[in-house]
Amino acid sequence: MKAVVYKNKNQVAVEEVENPRIEHPSDAVVRVTSAGICGSDLHMYDGRTDISSGTVFGHEIMGVIDDVGQAVVSLKKGDRVVLPFNISCGFCFNCIRGYTNACLTTNPEKPSAAYGYAGMGPYRGGQAEYVRVPFADFNATKLPGEAGDAFEDDFLLLSDVFPTGYHATELAQVGPGKTVAIFGAGPVGLLAAHSAIIKGASEVYVVDRSEERLAIAEKIGAFPVNFEDGSPAEQIITMRKNNKMLVESFKPGEEKMMGVMCGIDAVGYQAHSIKQPDKEDPLSVINELAKVVNFTGHIGIVGVYMPQDPGAVSEQVKKGIYALPFGLIFDKGITIGTGQTPVKKYIEQLKHLIIAGKAKPGMIVSQHTAIEDAPRAYTMFDFRGIGDGEEYTKVIINP
C-alpha cells in the first residue's frame, strides 16, 4: 500500500510499504478514507524531534473497518469509524480515570501512545491506505453515514484537533459569559474558538499574524488580534477598555480586571517572537498569557512543548527548560493546565454536537489532497498561514 513516510528534515515521500494485518485478536484494520496533516506533524517534519527516517506519519485517521480480530465484539467489516489519536487500552490505572493520553499499556517506553508519532510507541501512522488499530473496541468510535459524505471532514477532525481545541477550553475553564484569549489561529486555535463560542463565552479573542487565519477566526465569531501590530495582551486590554458598556458596569476596583479570565496557548514551542515575528521565541505566548490573564484566571496550554528539542534557539530550551514568568503567574493566582488531549473523554459528546448541527469543525478545512500529493501539502502547510501562495489552514489526505 501507499503511505506518507518521513525521510529527512523538511522531506516526506509517498512510498510502498507492507499492508498492516491483524497482529492480536483485539486488533482491527481500517481502510483509510481521510487522514489529516496536523501542526504536530510539522514539529517532526521541521526536524524538531528525534523521529527516525522511514516512519509512516499520520495520527488523524478515519475510514471503514476492513478486518477485525477474533476478540473484537463491537465492530464489523464495513463500519465507518474515526480513531482518537491516542492509542489506549481502556483498562489501566490512567485509562480508567479518563486519562487515555497517558495509557500505561500501549507504549513500552513511557505512558502515552499514538499513531505515527515520535516517542509514542511502535505504531505506524494513518497517512496511508490502511492502518492497524490496537484494542479496536476501545480505540474506534463508530460513525453514522457513508465514507465521503457531507460529514467526512467534520468527523475526521474528531480524531484530534476538535477535541484538542475543546480540551484547551476545559483546561482554561471556559464557560458561559467567560472572556477568552486564544493564541494561535491554526486548526487547534480556531477550534478552541469554536468550542468557546459553543460553550457560551462572552468575548473570544484570537491572536495570530496570518490575516487569512484571523479572517476565519472572525467568521467563527471571535475578535481577531494581529501580533504584528504590537503586544496582543495590550491590544486586548485596550479593546476591553474601549468597551463603554463594560466599563460603565464596573464597581470601583473592577477596572483591575481588564484582561481576560481564560487564556489558551494553541501555538507551542515553535512560537514566533512578538517583537521580531520572523524569529522564534518559545516563551512569547506564555509571557503574553501571563500579562493578559486576570488575577484568579486560568490558562490551558495545548500547544506542544517538548522535553528535548534538537532545533531549539537556546541550550536551555534544547533540554526542555523554559524560563516562565512564574512570579507573575503565582502573584495572580493563575492555574495552568497542560498536556496531550485525552480524546476519548470528549469524542462522543463532540460527535453528537456535529450530528445535531451545533458544531461544524470541518469549516476550517482548506484543501483535500490525493496521497501522491502529500509532500507538496506538507511544504505548503508548513508556511503556517504566512507563505506567498495559497493558504493551507488544514489539509486532509484522501488516500
Ligand X SMILES: NC(=O)c1ccc[n+]([C@@H]2O[C@H](COP(=O)([O-])OP(=O)(O)OC[C@H]3O[C@@H](n4cnc5c(N)ncnc54)[C@H](O)[C@@H]3O)[C@@H](O)[C@H]2O)c1
Q: How many residues bind Zn ion (CB under 5 A)?
A: 9
Q: Fill in the per-residue mask, 153 to 182: x = in contact with Zn ion (CB under 5 A), - = not in contact.
A: -------x----------------------
Q: How near is the Cβ of 379 to ligand X at its closest, in Å?
A: 14
C-alpha cell at 177: 459569559
What is the rounded end-to-end Cα distance, in angstroms, of the chain? 10
Q: Fill in the per-residue mask, 341 to 380: x = in contact with ligand X (CB under 6 A), - = not in contact.
A: x---------------------------------------
Q: Fill in the per-residue mask, 225 to 254: x = in contact with ligand X (CB under 6 A), - = not in contact.
A: --x---------------------------
Distances (CA, A) of 183 to 53, 196, 208, 242, 340: 32, 13, 7, 21, 17
Among Zn ion, ligand X, none, partner that 107 touches (CB below 5 to 8 angstroms by kind) = none
Give the integer Cα–Cα distance in Å for 316 and 319.
5
| φ, ψ at 172 (rounded to 5°) | -90, 5
> Which residues, other chains included, contact 253 with Cβ-Cβ below 8 Å and sequence gap of 6+?
none
Residue 26 or 49: which CB sits closer to ligand X? 49
Locate all alpha helices (DSSP H) within the chain, ordered by sequence: 39-45, 93-96, 136-139, 152-156, 161-171, 187-198, 211-220, 232-241, 244-248, 284-292, 315-318, 326-332, 344-355, 374-381
User: For Zn ion, which residue of 13, 17, 92, 237 counts as binding (CB under 5 A)?
Assistant: 92
Coil, strand or helix at 333: coil
User: For ligand X, which residue of 132, 240, 272, 351 counts as binding (CB under 6 A)?
Assistant: 272
Distances (CA, A) of 29 to 75, 78, 118, 139, 386: 11, 11, 22, 12, 38
| Contact status: 162 vs ligand X (CB under 6 A) | no
Residue 27 or 391: which CB sits closer to ligand X? 391
User: For ligand X, which residue of 26, 112, 141, 164 counts as binding (CB under 6 A)?
Assistant: 164
Q: How near is the Cβ of 224 to Zn ion at its closest, in Å?
A: 24
| Contact status: 304 vs Zn ion (CB under 5 A) | no
Among Zn ion, ligand X, none, partner that 207 touches (CB below 5 to 8 angstroms by kind) = ligand X
Q: Fill in the per-residue mask, 29 to 68: x = in contact with Zn ion (CB under 5 A), - = not in contact.
A: ---------x-x----------------------------
Answer yes or no: are the C-beta atoms of 363 and 213 closer than 8 Å.
no
Q: For residue 192, count other CB atoms closer than 10 A to its CB.
A: 36
User: For Zn ion, which residue of 65, 95, 180, 364 counts as binding (CB under 5 A)?
Assistant: 95
Q: How near is the Cβ of 72 to Zn ion at its closest, in Å?
A: 17
Q: For residue 313, count other CB atoms closer than 10 A to its CB.
A: 15
User: For ligand X, which residue of 58, 63, 69, 385 counts as binding (CB under 6 A)?
Assistant: 385
Length of the chain: 399
| Site residues, ligand X (CB under 6 A) | 38-40, 42-43, 160-161, 164, 183-189, 207-210, 213, 227, 266-268, 271-272, 274, 284-285, 302-304, 340-341, 384-385
